[in-house]
C-alpha cells in the first residue's frame, strides 16, 4: 500500500486561502492509499509550496527506507495574479508538471513510474475542490 502525503507551505497572499487547499490535499492522499507501484518506494512525501520567497527544489530518496521526498514549487506570482478558476487550473498543471519532471530524474529499481505519474495526473485533474 502506498503512503502518499502532501504538506502545504502556503501564503494566503496568493489569493487562495490554505483551507481551500485541504480538499485537494486530502483527496489526493486518499486516492493513493489503495495503489501499489512496486517495492522501491513505500512512502512519498511532497511539500506543495506557494510562497513569495525564492526556493530551490528539495528532493531526496532514501533507498534503505523507501521514502521519497520532493517539493512542488508553485509559481506564486503567476497564481496570485489570475482569477480564482485560473488559480486552480495553474495549481493542477504545476503539480503534475513538477511531479513528472522530478520523477523522470530518478531510476527506481522496482517502481512503476509511468503508472504512478499517469494515476497522479488523473487524480489531480479530476478532484473537485
Q: What is the pTM of this model?
A: 0.95
Q: What is the distance in angstroms between the CA of the first residue and the CA of the last residue of the chain?
A: 25
Give the model's pLDDT for residue 123: 97
Res. 34 pLDDT band, cuts 50 70 90 = confident
How far apart are alpha carbons 47 and 73 in whole angstroms?
8
pLDDT tens by residue, 76-105: 999 999 999 899 999 999 999 999 999 999
By C-alpha distance, which of 36, 53, 45, 21 is closest to 127? 21
pLDDT tens by residue, 111-126: 999 999 999 999 999 9
Give the model's pLDDT for residue 17: 96
Res. 53 pLDDT band, cuts 50 70 90 = confident
How far apart are alpha carbons 4 and 124 in whole angstroms?
13
Instruction: Establish how many alpha carbons lie within 13 A of residue 79's alpha carbon, considering only the half-sphere containing its beta carbon.
Output: 25
Amino acid at each position: 500500500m502506498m503512503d502518499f502525503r502532501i504538506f502545504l507551505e502556503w501564503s494566503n497572499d496568493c489569493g487562495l486561502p490554505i483551507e481551500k487547499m485541504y480538499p485537494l490535499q486530502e483527496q489526493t492522499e486518499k486516492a493513493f492509499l489503495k495503489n501499489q507501484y512496486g517495492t522501491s518506494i513505500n512512502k512519498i512525501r511532497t511539500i506543495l509550496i506557494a510562497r513569495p520567497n525564492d526556493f530551490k527544489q528539495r528532493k531526496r530518496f532514501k533507498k534503505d527506507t523507501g521514502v521519497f521526498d520532493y517539493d512542488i514549487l508553485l509559481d506564486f506570482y503567476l497564481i496570485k495574479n489570475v482569477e480564482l478558476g485560473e488559480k486552480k487550473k495553474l495549481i493542477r498543471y504545476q503539480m503534475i508538471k513538477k511531479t513528472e519532471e522530478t520523477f523522470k530524474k530518478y531510476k527506481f529499481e522496482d517502481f512503476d513510474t509511468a503508472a504512478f505519474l499517469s494515476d497522479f495526473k488523473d487524480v489531480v485533474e479530476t478532484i473537485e475542490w
